[in-house]
Structure 1
Amino acid sequence: MTTTTAKISVQDVTKTFDLGRETFTALDNVSLDIADHEFVTVVGPSGCGKSTLMNILAGLETPTSGRALVDGAPVSRPGPERGVIFQQYALFPWLTVRQNVEFGLRTTGVPKRERRSRAEYFIELVGLERFADALPKTLSGGMRQRCAIARAYAVDPSILLMDEPFGALDALTRVKLQEQLLHTWSRDKRTVLFITHDVDEAVFLANRVIVMAARPGRVYDVIDVDPATERNEDFRLSSQFAELRNRVWHSVYHQEGRTALPSTSASAGS
């Protein structure tokens, strides 16, 4: 069931893969809606179809049945309104930070002066202005990921699809980038779907946490996080955070004996 305010709508999506003698069902009748400017995290056990779901929304995979919509239009291919950020930074090693951020603008014919202005804005937004002329090999992992985020922002997508973007980083860098991402999102809001295997990260970032069940992948639980809550160290150490974390943890790792939620339970703003 969809809502009229949904920015992203996933409607009864099933995805199977042909493995030769058998088929594997990665997603089974998944439905969810995400509202404009909402920050949603998706968490679940290995094999729950998190990345498959994101690839369908990115236009990199097609559903076996059902459909995915963005602004009411079916997703059939990648599009400029969807910025995609993976765990691997995928930066061009021979280009500087500025040139990497400008790349998508150059390919779409944005004039040089505007290209430079927009690149500088987003480089500053992610705190890399001192490294605009640096090559990726001279940057830390966290700085490279910030460059990838700036590059995705520069083409002005209304949606960011992020597949475990901080998964390969050390714990301290990860926390700093979580805070940086939320700061960036609060200044220049996008609709964000953020996939993670880290329960703490899912709770800290989200307005809503979607918990997936595995084999086959389906929506198992939806947990709201008060969007008015300030995300800082005090929140991480609060009883509110501990309660939410425990609920998400239990939903992810103790799924025996329960069935997935009806598809209407994952509606935007629910």
Structure 2
Amino acid sequence: MSTDISIRAVAKVFPLDGRQFVALDEITLEIARSEFVAIVGPSGCGKSTLLNIVAGLEQPSGGEARVGGEPVTGPGPDRGVIFQQFALFPWLTVRKNVEFGLRTAGVPRAQRRARAEHFIDLVGLTRFADALPKTLSGGMKQRCAIARAYAVDPQILLMDEPFGALDSLTRVRLQEQLLQTWSRDQRTVMFVTHDVDEAVFLAGRVVVMAANPGRIVEIVDVGLPYPRTEDVRLGPEFAALRNRVWSAVHHQEGTPS
């Protein structure tokens, strides 16, 4: 299986109060094409920094990240990025928000309209295609953001706490919807979350990070079959995996700086 994301001895150092803060300490991780990998760990362990380096939004202090075999030098259309903050243009409708990346890329009007409508339908927002973001619930805004990321047809989705601000029921529904879409399209997903249950439910592998400095301490193969249903979430195998990951994260949170 080919590798989509290759992170090789990536380090990131920030100046802090006259000293050097090591946010990432030689992180090495390979993510295969079509794999769903979740990254968990305590606050300050560098999860988002690592994702931003893969996205091309930050440059590493050492090592390198590669996507599709090519060094990451900046953002690119091969990577769709979805943040916890919905980052929608408030003056554009759902349809226009989803079309935005296609328009920037010079896709003809009829083609971008058709693609936007396809992905709006995919996330269940067809009735709201002409609505402005201010009229949407938090879950609907995030579905719009996901549709916008999908519309430009990236091979890789980089998701940083995309459901963190949502209520529990909406969060579970969007988790299930994300997996349904991933199962159809088989994009590669790198998913950062603080929620251990979410990580185990979604991912094929869960990467556990520790802080001070940010590093990988364990990688857990989930091994639960897809599709993941509510029965899977309530089963004993899920509970055992959740407890294993939670124990690894909790141990890191309890480690002194």
Compute the TM-score of the two structures, normalised by the length of structure 1. 0.92
Unaligned runs of 5+ in 1: 259-270
Partner of 2:49: 52
* Distance in structure 1 (CA, Å) of the matches to 2:10 and 2:61: 7
Deviation at residue 20 of structure 1 after TM alignment? 4.5
The alpha-carbon distance between structure 1 residues 35 and 227, as it changes in their structure 2 partners (threshold 3 A), is farther
Cα RMSD of the aligned pairs, angstroms, is 1.4
* Distance in structure 2 (CA, Å) of the matches to 1:257 and 1:133: 49
Unaligned runs of 5+ in 2: none
Deviation at residue 255 of structure 1 after TM alignment? 3.5
Report runs of 4+ in structure 1 exceeding 4 Å deviation: none
Partner of 2:231: 234
* Distance in structure 2 (CA, Å) of the matches to 1:93 and 1:256: 38
Letter aligned with residue 119 of structure 2 = F
Identity %: 70
Aligned length: 255
Partner of 1:91: 88
The answer to whether the aligner puts 1:181 opposite 2:175 as a matched pair is: no
Q: How does 1:72-87 map to 2 (within 5 A)?
A: 72-87=69-84
Q: How does 1:99-110 map to 2 (within 5 A)?
A: 99-110=96-107
The answer to whether the aligner puts 1:140 opposite 2:134 as a matched pair is: no
* Distance in structure 2 (CA, Å) of the matches to 1:127 and 1:80: 24
* Distance in structure 2 (CA, Å) of the matches to 1:227 and 1:234: 12
- What are the Cα deviations for residues 45-102 of structure 1, in whole angstroms up to 9, with x where unaligned? 1111000000100101111000000011110100000000000000011111000000
Compute the TM-score of the two structures, normalised by the length of structure 2. 0.97
* Distance in structure 2 (CA, Å) of the matches to 1:257 and 1:111: 54
Letter aligned with residue 92 of structure 2 = L
Partner of 1:31: 28
Counterpart of 1:254 in 2: which secondary structure? Answer: helix
* Distance in structure 2 (CA, Å) of the matches to 1:193 and 1:105: 23
Deviation at residue 176 of structure 1 after TM alignment? 0.6
Question: Aligned match of 1:70 in 47, 62, 67?
Answer: 67
